[in-house]
Amino acid sequence: MERVYNFSAGPSALPVEVLEKAASELVNYGDAGMSVMEMSHRSDAFKVILADAKALYKELMGVPDNYEILFLQGGGSMQFAMVAMNLMNKNHKSDYILTGNWAKKAYAEAARYGDAKAIASSADKTFTYIPKVTPEMMRKDADYVYICANNTIYGTRFKPDGLPQTGNIPLIADMSSNILSEVYDVSKFGLIFAGAQKNMGPAGVCAVIIRKDLIGNAMDITPTMLNYKTHADNDSCFNTPPCYSIYICKLVYEWVKKQGGVPAMEAINKEKAAKLYDYLDNSKMFHGTVVPEDRSLMNVPFVTGNKDLDAQFVKESKAAGLENLKGHRTVGGMRASIYNAMPMAGVEALIDFMKKFEMENK
Amino acid sequence: MERVYNFSAGPSALPVEVLEKAASELVNYGDAGMSVMEMSHRSDAFKVILADAKALYKELMGVPDNYEILFLQGGGSMQFAMVAMNLMNKNHKSDYILTGNWAKKAYAEAARYGDAKAIASSADKTFTYIPKVTPEMMRKDADYVYICANNTIYGTRFKPDGLPQTGNIPLIADMSSNILSEVYDVSKFGLIFAGAQKNMGPAGVCAVIIRKDLIGNAMDITPTMLNYKTHADNDSCFNTPPCYSIYICKLVYEWVKKQGGVPAMEAINKEKAAKLYDYLDNSKMFHGTVVPEDRSLMNVPFVTGNKDLDAQFVKESKAAGLENLKGHRTVGGMRASIYNAMPMAGVEALIDFMKKFEMENK
């Protein structure tokens, strides 16, 4: 069967070149005489893969030297606890900006470990916008301010020039669904984490960029495996890391670099997103659900306003080789996730299909 | 390059048939039009993979219906905390049997969360035997008794008929390095966990078999992601599971089933181990380090008694295509890990090489 255009929100499409390379060396990697899956994580061969992955990620993200890069397990959901247990141990306060389900879950987890406060929310309009946050809204003694940089379900994002101005308070960001998609200045953050399975690799590895001075202050109750210091002290090899997932991330990093790095991805992503939003803005049948200024470049939710028509669209689009356009189970409607690996041709195929559907069902 | 014989203790050799099948469907799985790495964990295609993996594991291990099977992240090291936080919340006491580094680490982690007690240890003889444990040594009000069923580093094991008799106290076992290698009666355990990367799949997934009545009693401080109930209530899909690693486990389970299941693996493993131990027992140069009655079927440590000769052996064996025979960094000497995926031919090649080395260096 032909490969489809996969608009899944996560796990998501990977560059076909990456998959082909992985397939070609799955049984026997280079001159190792074995698969990457079979390599001891303490072997020279795997150490090179890990070091390369780290160096490439550092380069692509422009990570300053006073930050550590960690490859951890448990996904973003584990980070919800790790962030709180490791960073909310000075004044035991943290400020959360609620822009969707994932921010809410992170907030709920933090509230179990200290005085977490929701300082802003866009729940009043079903998270269809990013709330304006001014410095006065933040507590001066908060241990950190937390955002979900891109909201996979609702299709909003904090733009690189629209981040909360937190001053000396570390800004923590969940970038699981927009990592490597446009240029963010890492030095503005205390910590950035990203589950790999949307824009960076397979599920099962979460890349954490953490400012070094934030490491080493975990609560006493923190499990050893949830202490950033454990992993920083052991270069992500305290125990066996998810080796094969890290290897696939490395291939994705190489692919991003070959495309021209994050600035080039940003240009392509803006073009892809503009094309789709432009169509939505002009369609008589479909419309986007997010205010224009806060639209995500990665996740584009849209509706017809008619549930039956939505269902028909999802069904027919699937038959046409456009997969996973159904909206999140908590929202309904449709959603096109157009991550880095989605080619322009995929976006064009979607728009063509929508036009045809609109004609046939008007 | 030819594939080598890989004696790595973990991550470890996988059956070449599994790797070849994975490679053949890496870019495009069946009629899905995408890689397993790209599938939404909530898609029908992935749900089938997960259900198959679970059903096969249940069948192979003979898991009774009053147990739940979970596929989690974080490896065995994360289980050290999870076991304590979830199960040591009744009388806040647990009894540990110290048979090596991994049992010690599990014990140290548990001691952070309650009254963990080392009720027996073989540290006096560098963990070269399994201590005899009688019911009187256990505390009657312990929430559980913990063992590491097979000790990867030291090469000892609790035999299926030599388990501690814990009566009504749940017995918890780390089976990371001997899962699926010989028949254990699951009903004798409260919980069995196994990091996949030795005998079951790639690093990044840990299979947990837990008796259902032990779920739902976690300490209040337990992070949501470390609560077994979180994962049991959501069939391992509370958040995105390590999908691709689970898929590889499924392929390994299919392979084990094709070999005749765990009883057949046990017969082969006993034959492989007997051949190697028999050679060691008769060698004038090499000798095993473990008392015969407690020898592991999976990990066979041995030494010459001469560090230079050990180093020479490791170097020359590598050149001969026998990889990763160096002993654990904390022990020295050599270690051959002969997991399910190591064919008899690999063990024979090792013995032939040892004979040759012994001849050349006597």
Tens-digit pLDDT profile for residues B36-90: 999 999 999 999 999 999 999 999 999 999 999 999 999 999 999 999 999 999 9
pLDDT tens by residue, A125-177: 999 999 999 999 999 999 999 999 999 999 999 999 999 999 999 999 999 99
Do residues B151 and B249 share a domain?
yes
Q: Give yes or no for residue A1 having a pLDDT over 70.
A: no
User: Exposed (0-12), middle (13-18) or buried (19+): which is B111, by Cβ within 10 Å?
Assistant: middle
Q: Which residue has the higher pLDDT, A223 or B328?
A: A223
Let me know if residue A141 belongs to a domain. Answer: yes
Number of domains chain A contains: 2
Do residues A232 and A289 share a domain?
no
Tell me the helix, strand and coil percentages in chain B, rounded to 5. Answer: 40, 15, 45
Confidence of residue A362 (pLDDT cuts 50, 70, 90): confident
Contacts of A201 in chain B (CB under 8 A): 37
Instruction: Give how far Cα B74 sits from Cα of A75, B51, B71, B117, B325, Å.
Output: 10, 21, 10, 24, 26
Residue B195 contacts A, CB cutoff 8 Å? yes
Last residue of a domain, one of A223, A258, A293: A258
Please give the mean pLDDT across all residues of chain A.
97
Told to judge if B174 belongs to the known catalytic residues of this protein, a careful annotator would answer yes
Q: Give yes or no for residue B5 having a pLDDT over 80.
A: yes
Contacts of B75 in chain A (CB under 8 A): 73, 239-240
Contacts of B195 in chain A (CB under 8 A): 240
User: Rounded to an integer, what distance in angstroms lies between the CA atom of residue A213 and that of residue A223?
Assistant: 20
Strand partners, B151: B156
Do residues A62 and A89 share a domain?
yes
Let me know if residue B6 belongs to a domain. Answer: no
DSSP assignment string, A329-356: TTT-SEEEE--TTS-HHHHHHHHHHHHH
Q: Which of A19, A40, A205, A236 to mutate to test the interface with B (most CBs of B within 10 A)?
A: A40
Contacts of A39 in chain B (CB under 8 A): 8, 11
CB contact residues (below 8 A), chain A span 118-147, against chain B: none
8 A C-beta contact, residue A242 and residue A205: yes
Told to judge if A102 belongs to the known catalytic residues of this protein, a careful annotator would answer yes
User: Rounded to an integer, what distance in angstroms lies between the CA atom of residue B36 and that of residue B54?
Assistant: 17
Q: What is the mean pLDDT of residues B142-153?
A: 98
**Residue B216, pLDDT score:** 98
CATH of the domain at B78: 3.40.640.10
Residue A17 contacts B, CB cutoff 8 Å? no
Q: Give yes or no for residue B139 having a pLDDT over 80.
A: yes
Nearest to B23 among A13, A23, A80 (CB): A23
pLDDT tens by residue, A107-133: 999 999 999 999 999 999 999 999 999
**Residue B1, pLDDT score:** 65
Confidence of residue A2 (pLDDT cuts 50, 70, 90): confident
Q: Do B321 and A244 touch (CB under 8 A)?
A: no
Host domain of residue A149: 17-258
Length of chain B counted residue by residue: 362
DSSP assignment string, A73-91: SSHHHHHHHHHHHHHS-SS
Confidence of residue B168 (pLDDT cuts 50, 70, 90): very high
Let me know if residue B268 belongs to a domain. Answer: yes
Nearest to A23 among B26, B109, B324 (CB): B26
Nearest to B203 among A26, A85, A242 (CB): A242
Strand partners, B97: B120
CB contact residues (below 8 A), chain A span 294-333, against chain B: 321, 323-324, 329
Q: What is the mean pLDDT of residues B104-132?
A: 97
Give the residue from A151, A153, A152 showing the smallest Cα distance to A131.
Answer: A151
Do residues A68 and A139 share a domain?
yes
Residue A101 contacts B, CB cutoff 8 Å? no
Let me know if residue A8 belongs to a domain. Answer: no
Nearest to B27 among A23, A34, A73 (CB): A23
Let me know if residue B194 belongs to a domain. Answer: yes
User: Exposed (0-12), middle (13-18) or buried (19+): which is B158, by Cβ within 10 Å?
Assistant: buried
Do residues A207 and A320 share a domain?
no
Told to judge if A250 belongs to the known catalytic residues of this protein, a careful annotator would answer no
B300 in helix, strand or coil? strand
Residue B2 contacts A, CB cutoff 8 Å? yes
The strand pair at A322-323 and B156-157 is best described as: unpaired
Please give the mean pLDDT across all residues of chain B.
97
**Residue A328, pLDDT score:** 87
B213 φ, ψ (degrees, to nearest 5): -70, -10
Confidence of residue B2 (pLDDT cuts 50, 70, 90): confident
Last residue of a domain, one of B208, B237, B258: B258
Do residues B218 and B71 share a domain?
yes
User: Exposed (0-12), middle (13-18) or buried (19+): which is B249, by Cβ within 10 Å?
Assistant: buried
**Residue B331, pLDDT score:** 76
Confidence of residue A95 (pLDDT cuts 50, 70, 90): very high
CATH of the domain at B312: 3.90.1150.10
pLDDT tens by residue, B218-246: 999 999 999 999 999 999 999 999 999 99
Confidence of residue A105 (pLDDT cuts 50, 70, 90): very high
Do residues A283 and A209 share a domain?
no
Let me know if residue B66 belongs to a domain. Answer: yes
User: Rounded to an integer, what distance in angstroms lies between the CA atom of residue A115 and that of residue A1?
Assistant: 53
Q: What is the mean pLDDT of residues B323-333?
A: 88
Contacts of B14 in chain A (CB under 8 A): 35, 37-38
Q: Do B8 and A240 touch (CB under 8 A)?
A: no
Q: Give yes or no for residue A55 having a pLDDT over 70.
A: yes
pLDDT tens by residue, A290-340: 999 999 999 999 999 999 999 999 999 999 999 999 998 777 899 999 999
Let me know if residue A345 belongs to a domain. Answer: yes
Do residues A225 and A104 share a domain?
yes
User: Exposed (0-12), middle (13-18) or buried (19+): which is A86, by Cβ within 10 Å?
Assistant: buried
Last residue of a domain, one of A216, A234, A258: A258
Do residues A243 and A273 share a domain?
no
Let me know if residue B187 belongs to a domain. Answer: yes
Query: Considering B54, B93, B143, B198, which one is annotated as catalytic?
Result: B198
User: Positive or negative, the Cα torsion across B138, B140, B143, B144?
Assistant: positive
Do residues A227 and A329 share a domain?
no
User: Rounded to an integer, what distance in angstroms lies between the CA atom of residue A229 and that of residue A223?
Assistant: 11
Do residues A214 and A351 share a domain?
no
Contacts of B77 in chain A (CB under 8 A): 224-225, 238-239
Do residues B225 and B282 share a domain?
no
Q: Do B76 and A239 touch (CB under 8 A)?
A: yes
User: Exposed (0-12), middle (13-18) or buried (19+): which is A1, by Cβ within 10 Å?
Assistant: exposed
